[in-house]
A and B are shown apart, each in its own frame.
Chain A
Amino acid sequence: MLAVKLAIKNLFGAGLRTFLNVFILSVAYVVIIMQNGIIQGWNKQARHDTIEWEYGQGQYRYETYDPYDPFTYEDAHGTIPDKLLPSFEKGNIAAVLVSQATIYPEGRLKTIMLKGINAAQKVVALPTNKLVAENDEIPAIIGSRMAVDIDVNIGDFVLVRWRDANGMFDAVEVKITGVFRTNVPAIDAGQIWIPLKTMQSMIGTEKEATLIIVKDETDRELDLEGWDFWDHSELLADMDKMIKGKSIGNAVMYLILLALAMLAIFDTQVLSIFRRQKEIGTFIAMGMTRRQVIGVFTIEGTMHAIMALVIGALWGIPLLLKLKQVGFKMPEGVDQMGLPISETIIPAYSVALVLGTIILVTITTAIVSYMPARKIAKMNPNDAIRGKIQ
């Protein structure tokens, strides 16, 4: 208690020097929480959007299907299992048939993924209600990235050439009936979505699908021959890895910031111990042990972190709350990078993040404060009393 009282007195006594250190440290607090909040917010949003638009509550994939190997697409399809047909009829299952195809935007050849999906599905957020044919035309929906890429709008026709199950090439024009905007590029870039039935008859794979997205708990993890169930932990593993990589990159940034703040505190401690050697000698002469004096200086340094917490809270909480309200606007074109990022990320500040940051900064400050204070143990009190230590 005495050490804390002394520390507070000395910190306030040091005036502007203390304020500058405390302010820099408060910036470290706020930036660490803000950056991690953005990463956590992005993580939350990316998981939410990917589940909502692409993965539902899990997927059955035909056993030979590998989304990263287009050569598997031709044979990777099987009959929708009978056990899932009741849910399929109710729209609680989205069956997707995948095939490679070619389109010719502005006379150029472009390879795409043609995907058939049941229009009545209620599993993913794709606007499949726009896939209901009004006449002989084949309706198709595409994402906004794809629309920009091939320069088409609603009402335009796109010529699609594909190879059926027998290896025969055929071509047809599809009419764009909807352009959807999504944060999930994996269902947008290079893809055209058409009705499942139309696609099945085009390919010659009646009642078949490549993957089946489920909505209800009861449809999950059934033992279906030829089909493998993928849950969220498997489906989102790549994204988790990518976000973790991003977190490490950000950690480097805030460690640099923290290091700057710590350098300032280290310098202050060294200067303080040098300038206050008479005081140190006097403490010892009055009966304090060296260990107690080291404790006083360590607590004094660590108090920077406590004061920074208060100052950081004063200006940081309003800033972080405002950011949570308006979100963090991502730079133009970031959605073209293949990452599931919305235009505005809403940061998520968890209790673990805030407490973790406080503990990290406080412990680091305590260590940095203790290191120069150890010098006191080697001081000759007689020289210290007379301020003779160089």
Chain B
Amino acid sequence: MKNGTIITIDNLVKRFPIGGGHFTALEDINLKIETGEFTGLVGPSGSGKTTMLNIIGSLDNPSEGDVIVMDTSMRGISAKRASTLRKQHLGFIFQTYNLMQVYTVYENVEFPLLLLKMTSSGRKKAVLNALEWVGLTDKIKSKPKQLSGGESQRVAIARAMVKRPQMVLADEPTANLDAENSHHILRTMEKLNKELNTTFLFATHDDKVIKYMRRIIRLEDGKVVADNLVKN
């Protein structure tokens, strides 16, 4: 899938049960995202950006409408199909890095490849490449607790990118980082996006992140209120 639509969102509605009623987190969303985009879902807390990211990442299901990711409908997707999609084609980057504390940097990055049952030599090559992209080849044997916040997030990026996924979903990736580290992280992701044509979709309300986006989809109260391409 070199070019073309990677995500199609049709009349998406997401409701969560609350007490006796329900809360509508996303309402009537219609979007298309093309391969290779560097796009931000932007909006204040509670606007629905993380919920949308989770549905796109097959971690949640739509209440109404449909989301099609790489020709796979998220509506009623089986757990097995969803896990295969995530394992083979999606990478995740989280606000709190979510690195496994008992593993070294190398082992953390290697983990997605173990799930893909890649050979030992193939894994080694891919892990070293990924760590080179993020500039952490000297930290291979370090444990997450020995790393700074910026370094931890770079490990998370390497872990998300090591299997060369078609799309990376990043939820507030710079929320716990200072300005310098935020820029470093974003420049890294921008470079990977350009070099590998990987689609990046961010959920963020951080201005430092927003200014790197080439497309900004603004959400408010679960609705798309603006969708703009940015010319850098």
Chain B residues within 8 Å of A386, by CB: 94-96
Interface residues of A, Cβ cutoff 8 Å to B: 2, 5, 9-10, 12-14, 278-279, 281-282, 284-290, 381-382, 385-387
Quick check: A287 and B84 within 8 Å, CB to CB? yes
A285 touches B60 (CB 8 A): no
Query: How many angstroms from the CA of A284 to the CA of B114 in the assembled complex?
Result: 14
Beyond A286-B92, A289-B80, 15 extra complex contacts between A and B, CB < 8 Å: A5-B114, A10-B102, A278-B98, A284-B83, A286-B87, A286-B112, A286-B159, A287-B88, A287-B112, A288-B87, A288-B115, A382-B54, A382-B60, A385-B98, A386-B95
Cβ-defined contact, B60 with A9, below 8 A: no
**How many contacting A-B pairs (Cβ < 8 A)?**
62
Minimum CB distance partner of B85 in chain A:
A287
Residue from A5, A9, A282, A288 with most neighbouring chain B CB atoms (10 Å): A282
Taken residue by residue from 136 to 159, chain B's Cβ proximity to chain A (1 for < 8 Å, 0 otherwise) reads as: 000000000000000000000001
Taking the closest CB of chain A, its distance from the CB of B205, in whole angstroms, is 16
Report which residue of A14, A285, A290 has the largest number of chain B beta carbons within 10 angstroms of its beta carbon. Answer: A285
Q: How far is the CB of A14 from chain B (nearest CB, A)?
A: 8
Grouping DSSP codes into helix (H, G, I), strand (E, B) and loop, the B interface class, with mixed when no group exceeds half, is: helix
For the complex formed, measure the closest distance between the CB of A299 and the CB atoms of chain B, giving whole angstroms: 15
Contacts of B103 in A (CB 8 A): 9
Q: Is B31 an interface residue (CB 8 A)?
A: no
B84 touches A282 (CB 8 A): no
Q: Which residues of B contact A12 (CB under 8 A)?
A: 102
Residue of B nearest to A15 (CB): B102
User: Which chain A positions have C-beta within 8 A of B159?
Assistant: 286
Give the contact-size bracket for chain B: 20 to 34
Whether the Cβ atoms of B96 and A278 lie closer than 8 Å is yes
Q: Is the CB of B57 within 8 A of A285?
A: yes
A286-B54 CB under 8 A given contacts A381-B59, A385-B94: no
Q: Is the CB of A282 within 8 A of B112?
A: no
The 6 residue pairs across chains A and B that have the minimum distance between CB atoms: A287-B87, A13-B102, A282-B98, A287-B86, A285-B92, A289-B83
Closest residue of chain B to A387, judged by CB? B96
Please tell me which one of the listed residues A9, A10, A282, A290 contacts residue B94 in the complex, with CB atoms under 8 A apart: A282
Chain A contacts of B59 at CB under 8 A? 284-285, 381-382, 385
Find chain B residues with CB under 8 A from A10 CB: 102
Whether the Cβ atoms of B83 and A288 lie closer than 8 Å is yes
CB distance from A332 to the nearest CB of B (A): 53
| B100 interface contact, C-beta 8 A | yes
Q: Please indicate the chain A residues that have their CB under 8 angstroms from the CB of B57 in the complex.
A: 285
**Contact across chains for B83 and A2 when beta carbons are under 8 A apart:** no
- The complex places the Cα of A287 from the Cα of B84 at a distance, in Å, of 6
The smallest C-beta distance from A171 to any residue of chain B, in angstroms, reads 87
Q: Could you write out 11 A-B pairs with CB less than 8 Å apart? A: A2-B114, A286-B111, A286-B115, A287-B88, A287-B115, A288-B87, A289-B80, A381-B59, A382-B50, A382-B54, A386-B95
Contact B115 A279 (CB under 8 A): no
